[in-house]
Structure 1
Amino acid sequence: MKIVLLEPLAISKEILNSLASKLKDMGHEFIAYDTVEKDTEALKKRAENADILMIANNPLNGDVIRSVENLKYIAVAFTGVDHVDKEACKERGIKVSNAQGYATEAVAELTIGMILSLLRNVIKCDEVTRKEGTKVGLVGSELNGKTVGIVGTGAIGLRTAEILKAFNCKLLGYNRSQSERAKELGIEYVTLEELLSKSDIVSLHVPLNDATKGLINKERISLMKKSAILINVARGPVVDSEALAEALNNGDIAGAGIDVFEIEPPIKSNHPLFSSRNTLVTPHVAFASEESMIKRANIEFDNVYSWINGEEKNIVM
């Protein structure tokens, strides 16, 4: 079989070669590209004659998928697969796997980092200190004892909750189904509306689908406390950015930490959240730690080996 890695996995060449050696030993052709390519025609050329495509989080559109005659399987080194054209895969009967679980620690830790940074005005304190300023107007609040609403109690939401327990936080949860582990952690399941109205901090950990697109809209943001902060390390379109920016600028909520946007970075400088009050933004980096990059590469290659051997592992489409 011909196996093509269409983009880099942010791991060293030594690790990549080690992971790929088994494929070569099995007699398969393996080609890896070390640059990101977004042009459709160029991607078609890279993917030509492949039986298996391996990608990370860059879009793989239907034109590319339909152009690869031998394509049978796509391995995605990412949790979400909404960047892969679902209809094209369905038409062709192409299986798609993900690398669920690789970034649980990384995303949970950045979530906590954003919360603490916003509560204690870390960015503003740094700026003022460098300008010979003082703490005047920058005295923040503690995370200890706050009510945190976890929207989405999957692996990342639950790991975030575990860390928050160390801060003596009261935990509210919203999810389509209730988790026994969540209950063990003391998470109280409530409606989304109740969670938004009672939480000091709202942290989003849901996948992007028809049910979650625009989940946090103007009406729901209006339910939040004026002192509340919103953290989105999930998917950009889960939140109405313009409505959030308006609420922040009007003082309807106190702050926001945003790692994800409607598109992948780079984000245009005129994005509404770039000029909104007390907003911490990062370039979709929550999932990306040295440890998580190695973990996801291992999971992706293991998925490929399993599929070649007739075992479907982590299949999501």
Structure 2
Amino acid sequence: MEILAYGVQADERPLLERAFAGRHELRCLDVFLNRDTAPLAAGAPAVSSSVNAVLDAETLALLSAGGTKLIAQRSTGFNNIDLEAAAHLGLTIARVAYYSPYAVAEHAWALALAVNRRLTRAASRTREFDFRLDGLLGRDVHGMTVGVVGTGKIGECFTRIAAGFGTTLLGWDIVENPGCLELGMHYTDLPELLSRADLISLHVPLVPATHHLIDTAALARMKDDAILINSSRGGLIDSTALVKTLRAGRLSGVGLDVYEEETGVFFTDRSIHGITDDILARLVTFPQVLVTSHQAYFTRTAVGQIIDATARNIDDFAAGRTNENTLVSHT
């Protein structure tokens, strides 16, 4: 089967090629899948998309018109896919339901530790041989109250690391995780968690009910010196409200691996032409803010698991089978 893979990163390409060698004909593109690039897939029965593809009704219609039957997305989240339109067009949609939760949890902690101990500022200074400690004062994580918003697989991994630091654990979710309870987590409502936590990390999916979960009111409940981490989905945070909060001198650290308007910006080089998103441009100017480019999942282990699952999704489709990763089926 001919497969066109969109949004393939340089480090990802040899892993994809190795996974499909001798089984399917694979072409890799570094451009992302959207309504402008969909015509490139004409004649390819299967495409594989990356996390920030825009699979709206128009894009799906273009793919279908070109003969595509399967879209295998190399990510867990699917809020970017119009599943109703896919079903109407007779497309099969598959995702990766699971990959290493440690990758994302560990990156969330890397962000938390970096903003707490001012590591990016310190590294910039020492490159210029400025070894002063002014403005680099952090806090012990030991003894902090850590609030985990969403305690699924990734949230539990984050919680286990938090427990190792010797923290008080607060959790919020629609279902309590027994593994987190065993670690001493106390579940509470979201307003109480936000008001009590010294460090808050977001690990819920982006659905209508969680869009802008962290809005002006939620930010106002947080301690002035709280640390906020988001390695889940950008739309969980109202970015405009976050900028206003930071401009008011509140929050001692913010670590963002995702941003609500990241599509078309993250995974690209904008160093020459810059960006037109005023909110993102403002966010990266705050000294207590660290933004990474949706790389929390990007470890050898996790990417390998994502590619293996994608290959299985395509193999199963070719054989007329579905599996636990299938979102819409027309086999």
TM over 0.5: yes
Aligned to 1:27: none
**Post-superposition offset of 1:119:** 1.5
In structure 2, give the amino acid aligned to 1:31: L
Mapped partners of 2:225, 2:20: distance in 1: 51
Do 1:148 and 1:202's aligned partners in 2 also have CA atoms closer than 8 Å?
yes
Query: Match for residue 241 of structure 1?
Result: 239
Residue number in structure 2 paired with 1:312: 323
Aligned to 1:52: 46
Contact 1:10 1:293 (8 Å CA) reproduced? no
Corresponding letter in the other structure for 1:293: V
| Worse-matched range after superposition: 224-233 or 83-92 | 83-92
Structure 1, 81-90 or 13-22: larger mean CA deviation: 13-22
CA-CA distance at 1:94 after TM superposition: 2.9
**CA separation of 1:37/1:191 partners in 2, compared to 1, >3 Å: closer, same or farther?**
closer
- Counterpart in 1 of 2:130? 132
Q: Which runs of at least 4 in structure 1 moved beyond 4 Å after TM superposition?
A: 9-14
> Which residue matches 1:148?
146
Matched, 1:15 2:23: no
Contact 1:37/1:43 (<8 A) preserved:
no
Give the TM-score of the pair, scaled to structure 2. 0.85
Equivalence for 1:3? 3
**Worse-superposed segment, 163-172 or 304-313:** 304-313
Give me the whole-angstrom Cα distance separating, in 1, the residues matched to 2:87 and 2:93.
10
1:95, distance to aligned residue in structure 2 (A): 3.2
| Deviates most, 148-157 or 87-96 | 87-96
Q: Which residue of 2 aligns with 1:288?
A: 298
Aligned residues of 1:153 and 1:182 also touching (Cα < 8 A): yes
Whether contact under 8 Å (1:303, 1:313) holds in the other structure is no
Could you tell me which amino acid in structure 2 is paired with residue 63 of structure 1?
E
CA distance in 1: counterparts of 2:246 and 2:68, whole angstroms: 47
Shift of 1:93: 4.1
Show CA shifts across 1:189-244 (max 9, x none): 11011110110000011111101111100001100111211001111111011111
1:34 aligns with 2:29: yes
Larger RCO: 1 or 2 (CA < 8 Å, sep 6+): 2
Task: Extract unaligned runs of 5+ from structure 2.
Answer: 267-274
Q: Which 5+ residue runs of structure 1 have no aligned equivalent?
A: 25-29
The residue aligned with 2:99 is: 102
Which segment is superposed worse, 1-10 or 46-55? 1-10
Aligned residues: 311
Q: Give runs of aligned pairs for residues 52-131 of structure 1, distance below 5 A.
A: 52-57=46-51, 58-67=53-62, 68-69=64-65, 70-129=67-126, 130-131=128-129
**Retained in 1: the 8 A contact 2:34–2:54?**
no
- Identity percentage over the alignment? 30
Question: 1:224-267: per-residue Cα shift (whole Å, max 9, x none)?
Answer: 11121100111111101111111122123222111111222245
